[in-house]
Amino acid sequence: MTRIKSRFAETAVIAALTALTAVTTMLVRVPIPATNGYFNIGDVFIILAGLWLGPRAGFIAGAFGSAIADSIGFPVYIPATFIVKGFEGWITGMLARHATTGSIMRPGLAAVTGGLSMVAGYYIFEAYIYPMIGQHIPMFNITDPGAAFIALFPNAVQGISGIIGGLALWKAIASGSQTSNDNNEQSVAGQNG
């Protein structure tokens, strides 16, 4: 996790990552008829938020960014998405705490856990929770265990793509921050003689 020094700047970055999650999820979505859901590329920014700014940022970007995207066209998935994607960002951030760009192992494991939690989370919602709620509220009766099994595959692909993208972007940003901080420290040291 790479801290941004100003808390306001951190808020701005979290807001930007949330918006980017919403935009990338919303703009490119390919429908999956089996589950009435869709394939998207928004997970990159959820993993990035978790790795870069920690569990709180990961949760906000995942839960709110993706739920905003679902609110247009797929409102029935908002509760599942809020919990599953929020947890994805949160768990990534939790496990990646104290990670540095020196080793890829810890952030890598954190990102993989985040991605797996997303795949497992959607499966649980689509196979068990939604059919159960659907018995009382017909709106939620859109999936069943068979459809949830089919959705495992696109979700896994979406997860892998998000893990690798988030990790790659985090490494580039974190290395950049490190270089920038080093330069600033050198210039301050130079000014101080």
Partner 1 sequence: MSVFEFPGFLKLQNLRPWWLKMAVLMLIGFPLVSNRPAGLIAAGLEKFLPEMPGSILAWPLITFFIWACCLPSLGTARLLDYLAAAYTMAITTVVSGAVLREILPVVFTADVSADSFRLLRVYFNILAVFPYSLTFLNAFSVSDLLSRLTKTRGRFRSAGLHLALALRICQHVGEVIPKLLLVWREENPDLLLPRCRDDWQGISPLIRWPMWFIRSISQWIFACIILTFEPIPVMVNEIEQINESRDSNDPH
Positions touching partner 1 (CB under 8 A) are 6, 9, 12-13, 23-24, 27-34, 39, 41, 44, 101-105, 147, 150, 153-154, 157, 160-161, 164-165, 167-169, 171-173, 175-177, 179-180, 183-184
Between residues 34 and 120, which has the closer beta carbon with respect to partner 1?
Answer: 34
Q: Which is nearer to partner 1, 23 or 116 (CB)?
A: 23
Closest contact distance (angstroms) between CB of 47 and partner 1 is: 11
| Rounded least distance, CB 136 to partner 1, Å | 26
Instruction: Pick between residue 97 and residue 153 the one whose CB is nearest to partner 1.
Output: 153
Contact status, residue 25 vs residue 69, Cβ threshold 8 Å: yes
Residue with Cβ nearer partner 1 (19 or 83): 19
d(CA 176, CA 180): 6
Least Cβ distance, residue 24 to partner 1 (angstroms): 6
- Between helix 78-95 and helix 43-53 the angle, nearest 10°, is 40
Instruction: Specify burial of residue 26 (Cβ count, 10 A radius: 0-12, 13-18, 19+).
Output: buried
Count of positions (residues) in the chain: 193
Rounded to the nearest 5 degrees, what angle is found at the Cα of 11, between the Cα atoms of 5 and 13? Answer: 85
